[in-house]
Structure 1
């Protein structure tokens, strides 16, 4: 059984992918070819955002966002401790300070009600994470940001295709960043990412920054980076966009069936009524997780843990944060486990997964 089945997806659109790739090979425009700009237009239209600036990966997207707002050493950026390391890594990279706010235990997203108490004169931005595919409470977060004159950057690496109160993820904040890593809801065949914004000046800044700070050929106005999305990956993403809405609906169908089959068996992430999730992962909580994972493996069912160590307890931050400071994140990190989730998970496979869960939990 596949944890994420990319083979079935490729088989479905193999012809379209090959045609797109062949066009790039024929034209020979491998860097910043026409497919890159076609993709950016398509992604902007999909999200409703005015600008999409593609780039090399989701981490670079976050870095470009922070560079665009002028983050510097000593600045503070508020974020969640329950995320992939890139979320805090990019803050630390600039010599800024990650200021963590604990999560809501039911959604696993940052607890918006606890953000304002962490704001100081040094606070320059908030980076909420739309974890597992569900958006955080962006209305509340944006209201706090506006009140204090700071910027909100959505880490939407897992939530492209999700909605919050009828609006698409990647069009909810000043800047949004997503990832096209292969296992994401919309993934390429390598690394890729994008920034989204409705701010013309920020969009232009990010475009310059992603190409060595180059405003025009050999004319550099900023210290930037080489963070371009290559044309082949753009071509692959364009082919995948043709079936993306259908795949999101299939993910919803799989998740709804999981919800029904697992009701009363294991706690699951709560999806708020005003939200739809992209279901990058389908995550439950269990006691004795190591034992559970080993039993599932014996039964032939793959699992994954997103994420086993909260950011504030990572070795690189040793001495900067205390264990017990963010108890909800620490508890979730010790209990969460993700089950196979992808658009092509059939009912028989789901039944096999749930049967294995019951055996592993001795139900």
Structure 2
């Protein structure tokens, strides 16, 4: 690493949300990050400490509205605004800026598919065509050259990282992929919603988006590219009573006489030099607590009792590897920095 690093002037749009807070937390200790602007429409004018007291010790600029930003003072933008609100804002930004968008607005390559799943026409189609899907471990070359990176969703990240190599190598069939996923409540965002109140979520769990969750076309898009043909999957997400973390259980049909051990060996070889991907040994079950607060993903493979099938388990922190951590990982690649910069923190345990 060079003795001195040029600082990158950064704006975080939507800094009052959970992903915004995680970006501030990690970028505050990033050697190349100079946090210049934090926006929050409803909290504009407030110091960050009023919104996130745990970050009050940091010397950060006060929150402002997007239309108050002097873009000539910014090099890089993280956009953490809600889905559907991002397209027109990003389209209006100076073309000199490089951007990682954490919403779903630019993840789908096909505008018609976006309209079908999000209920309205895409408002920045040309920009959508320019966007690069930022699953870093599989698209570094595209991310490196991109001006706009669409950061993957949390469920797609935890699902695709173990599945894509298996499809690319022909180790599993592309049909009959079944994904059972569970996420902490922070995945639903910070806005007050009745279904996310403590009494609604504690001491129980429930499924949501059954049969029609918006992450389905995103996952099918990437799985189809890996398989070389259309892939339709079964996916059911569940909300569980914890703050953060995500556990994905995927049931797959083996191809060509392969075994669960073959899948595990292939994943271990594929990710041997990946700093954020750990493939666990035979019989080791991943735990969400073992990745909490980190940019890690832990993966394990088990044989199924059903002949010719295997079970793939993966865990991430939905706010870090599933959102802000992966966004910083993408920024590092885009700017030619060391990919792990600012992301070296170990998981929090217990």
State the TM-score, normalized to the length of structure 1.
0.27
Q: Please identify which structure carries the higher helix content.
A: 1
Q: Tell which has more relative contact order, 1 or 2 (C-alpha 8 A, sep 6+).
A: 1
